[in-house]
């Protein structure tokens, strides 16, 4: 079966586009909106479904324009619709495996097809960082989750723990407090990084915060049953029972395919860009969470996408105007 | 009356805030949302009403999140509401006259009061340079636009005119040539200031350039229907039918108050910032259209505001992760 696909793929003629956007999260979809609106024949390649990480957010409260917040899945749908109304084409469930970005014709090879574009915008986002404890993998999907919205409903009236200290961890803890019987937040530092508004919400939702605390081990038979935690202040290890652990300790950039093609990354693996979102390769831009930027917010991601799509337009349509 | 205000103002004690945002357009209101949500006591000073230039847009189609577009006034209201829900205070119809930004205490003096803040974000935007023809105001949003990217798609397959002779006018004409049926460029001089490459691009896109020509009058009922133009060579006035006129004769940054306080501007009067939106004065940031940036879109403005508000939080609170 795989062979047949491969064969038909080899014989296939090139599929030509002005702009190819790799990744269909908020940044990629925004690049699609701006690319298509400026008249570029624009394709978005998304390995999963449109919306990226925002689609799994229970409630997005800080994206400007939605005073009472909006469920992430609704916002994702709106971005996808807007992108398609603008005239961009979105291919979902199609993974980009290899890119060849040197020269005037940029090639993107997916698990389904070969594409050719005059410019490429990389918007592949990030993935969840794992704790890296040996027993972590064993209980993935058996008590350990990296997405409260996806898996929270399995823990109705149960005891859960959230690990992390930033906005994402706080948002997950708040979301889970509406489902679970008891929610604890475990953070390895003495202060949280989450917004004050979220910290106050956690207080009023009686979410207990364990500071200076790390998980040392996950325990259970087939399913997670308890965790060993270490309080660094007291240097005390104790076991607490829990049905679920939601890990929200940061992200890793999805930049492997870009790196292989010669795009320069910073020391943490994020794609290096200048103030116009240009990478080190002509006609190739990077936007959103996968690009170097100090603040990973949806509002900052869309800003970078607008700049890149506008630059891509300049690069494709007016080479003289486009100042390198 | 003015004297009384002045007197009570003199006796008034200082009004203390963590963060003072000057300007209540999309960038200023976003800075307010993020500032307040992070727990900063945040004040926004707006000389008119909230929303800035976006409030005057008939329909905002390219702000991500609104697939079918949203009237600018509705979007402005949503931003204002979100900002207030977050806990920021907005003072409208209050003009900032003078700022004293050196040192740890930043002072802002308005036509009503004196304020003191730990950090200041300048979000005063730009103003469009107008032609100054009496009938110009009447058709604003009814055929006359100052933003091709925003309003161009309303003129698909229609006849439009661009006014101006610089790069911005040429870029707008080229952008519109991909959408409209026919694009003319009207310029009051005998040569364009736009780069040769752009002029050549206009030629190859069959954009007709009317030199030494000025618009004398806009005509129509509710919507623009035609313009009276004067060719100064021939001293000939004639009427041409058009569906839209895009005026691109320059923008003016609202940076006079900032300049007086010692903030560095670029040669065109825009406020210089680094990639974290910091000006040359510690604890003072600039965001949105008044700051140096190549693309003036609402989506890029809010991105800069999120960065600045997050930086302002770091500057004031010095959390463990803030790196100066």
CA-CA distance, B309 to B31, in Å (whole number)?
5
**Alpha helices, H only, chain A:** 2-11, 26-37, 72-86, 134-138, 148-151, 167-177, 196-204, 256-260, 298-317
Whether B171 has its CB under 8 Å from any CB of chain A: the answer is yes
Total domains in the fold of chain B: 2
Strand partners of residue A240 = A227
The tokens for B299 are: 């989506």
Interior angle at CA B195, CA A303 and CA A274, nearest 5: 30
* pLDDT per position as a tens digit, B232-286: 999 899 999 999 999 999 889 999 999 999 999 999 999 999 999 999 999 999 9
Same structural domain, B108 and B32: yes
The tokens for A132 are: 């890296």
Count of pairs with CB atoms under 8 A, one residue in A, one in B: 141
The tokens for A50 are: 């449109």
Question: What per-residue confidence (pLDDT) applies to B294?
Answer: 83
Residues in chain A with CB shorter than 8 Å from the CB of B39 are 195-197, 199
* pLDDT per position as a tens digit, B75-104: 999 999 999 999 999 999 999 999 999 999
Residue B295 has pLDDT above 90, yes or no: no
Whether A302 has its CB under 8 Å from any CB of chain B: the answer is yes
Q: By mean pLDDT, which of B13-17, B152-156, B318-322 is the weakest?
A: B318-322
Contact across the interface for A78 and B86, Cβ inside 8 Å: no
Select from B247, B281, B307 the last residue of a domain: B247
The three-class DSSP label of residue A90 is strand
Give the C-alpha distances (Å, rounded to integers) separating A125 from A32, A53, B66, B232. Answer: 15, 8, 22, 56
Whether A129 and A249 have beta carbons less than 8 Å apart is answered as yes
* pLDDT per position as a tens digit, B51-65: 988 887 767 888 999
Task: Look at residue B267 and tell me if it is in a domain.
Answer: yes
Contact across the interface for B33 and A62, Cβ inside 8 Å: yes
Percent of chain A scoring above 70 in pLDDT: 94
A147 is catalytic: yes
Whether A100 and A106 have beta carbons less than 8 Å apart is answered as yes
Same structural domain, B153 and B232: yes
A116 is catalytic: no
The three-class DSSP label of residue B251 is strand
Strand partners of residue B159 = B182
Whether B307 and B277 have beta carbons less than 8 Å apart is answered as yes
Same structural domain, B235 and B262: no
Mutate: best of B50, B65, B194, B312, partner A, most A CBs <10 A: B65
Selection from A313, A262, A284 nearest residue A106 by Cα = A284
Query: Any idea what the CATH number is for the domain that residue A150 is in?
Result: 3.50.50.60
Whether B306 has its CB under 8 Å from any CB of chain A: the answer is yes
Average of per-residue pLDDT values in chain A: 92
CA-CA distance, A209 to B270, in Å (whole number)?
45
Contact across the interface for A66 and B86, Cβ inside 8 Å: no
Q: What is the mean pLDDT of residues A230-249?
A: 95
Question: What per-residue confidence (pLDDT) applies to A12?
Answer: 55
CA-CA distance, B231 to B241, in Å (whole number)?
16
CA-CA distance, B16 to B39, in Å (whole number)?
15
Whether B33 has its CB under 8 Å from any CB of chain A: the answer is yes
Contact across the interface for B195 and A310, Cβ inside 8 Å: no
Same structural domain, A87 and A34: yes
Q: By mean pLDDT, which of A53-67, A309-323, B98-112, B165-179 is the weakest?
A: A309-323
Interior angle at CA A7, CA A5 and CA A12, nearest 5: 95
Residues in chain B with CB shorter than 8 Å from the CB of A85 are 67-68
Same structural domain, B62 and B167: no
CA-CA distance, B320 to B322, in Å (whole number)?
6
Nearest to A193 among B197, B294, B321 (CB): B321
Select from B214, B229, B247 the last residue of a domain: B247
Contact across the interface for B82 and A64, Cβ inside 8 Å: yes
B53 is catalytic: no
Task: Look at residue B1 and tell me if it is in a domain.
Answer: no
Same structural domain, A242 and A265: no
Q: What is the mean pLDDT of residues A188-214?
A: 94
The tokens for B63 are: 């702000």
Same structural domain, B30 and B163: no
Same structural domain, B119 and B173: no
Same structural domain, B16 and B156: no
Whether A203 has its CB under 8 Å from any CB of chain B: the answer is no
Strands (E), B13-113: 15-22, 42-45, 89-91, 96-100, 106-110
User: Virtual CA dihedral for A55, A61, A62, A66, nearest 10 degrees?
Assistant: 90
Whether B290 and B28 have beta carbons less than 8 Å apart is answered as no
Whether B63 has its CB under 8 Å from any CB of chain A: the answer is yes
Selection from A44, A47, A13, A4 nearest residue A305 by Cα = A44
Whether B310 has its CB under 8 Å from any CB of chain A: the answer is yes
The tokens for A24 are: 């269909």
Question: What per-residue confidence (pLDDT) applies to B159?
Answer: 97
CA-CA distance, B258 to B275, in Å (whole number)?
19
CA-CA distance, B2 to B240, in Å (whole number)?
50
Cα R_g (chain A), whole angstroms:
22
pTM of the model: 0.84
- The residue range of the domain holding A275 is 6-128+251-317
β-strands A182-186, A208-210: how paired?
parallel
Whether B188 and B163 have beta carbons less than 8 Å apart is answered as no
Burial of B217 (0-12, 13-18, 19+ CB in 10 A): middle
Contact across the interface for B197 and A318, Cβ inside 8 Å: yes
CA-CA distance, A123 to A53, in Å (whole number)?
12
Q: Which tops the pLDDT comparison, B9 or B69?
A: B69
Select from A203, A232, A247 the last residue of a domain: A247
Same structural domain, A210 and A228: yes
């Amino acid at each position: 079966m795989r062979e047949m696909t491969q064969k038909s793929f080899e014989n296939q003629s090139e599929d030509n586009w002005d702009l190819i956007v790799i990744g269909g999260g908020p940044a990629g979809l925004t690049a699609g909106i701006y690319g298509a609106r400026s008249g570029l024949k624009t394709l978005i390649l998304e390995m999963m479904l449109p919306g990226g990480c925002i689609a799994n957010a229970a409630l997005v409260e800080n994206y400007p324009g939605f005073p009472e917040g909006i469920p992430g899945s609704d916002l994702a749908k709106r971005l996808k619709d807007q992108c398609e109304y603008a005239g961009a084409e979105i291919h979902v469930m199609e993974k980009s495996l290899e890119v060849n970005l040197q020269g005037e014709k940029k090639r993107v090879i997916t698990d389904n097809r070969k594409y050719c574009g005059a410019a490429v915008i990389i918007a592949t986002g990030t993935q969840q960082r794992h704790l890296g404890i040996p027993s972590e993998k064993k209980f993935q999907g058996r008590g350990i989750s990296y997405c409260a919205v996806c898996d929270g409903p399995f823990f109705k009236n149960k005891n859960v723990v959230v690990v992390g200290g930033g906005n994402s961890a706080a948002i997950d803890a708040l979301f889970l407090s509406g489902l679970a019987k008891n929610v604890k937040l475990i953070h390895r530092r003495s202060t949280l990084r989450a917004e004050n508004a979220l910290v106050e919400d956690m207080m009023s939702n009686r979410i207990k915060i364990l500071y200076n605390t790390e998980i040392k081990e996950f325990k259970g038979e087939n399913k997670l049953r308890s965790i060993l935690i270490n309080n660094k202040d007291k240097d005390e290890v104790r076991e607490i029972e829990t049905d679920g652990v939601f890990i929200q300790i940061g992200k890793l950039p999805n930049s492997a395919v870009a790196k292989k093609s010669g795009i320069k990354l910073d020391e943490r693996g994020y794609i290096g860009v200048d103030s116009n979102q240009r990478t080190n390769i002509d006609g190739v831009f990077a936007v959103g969470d996968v690009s170097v930027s100090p603040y990973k917010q949806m509002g900052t991601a869309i800003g970078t996408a607008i700049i890149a799509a506008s630059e891509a337009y300049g690069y494709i349509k007016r080479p003289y105007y486009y100042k390198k």
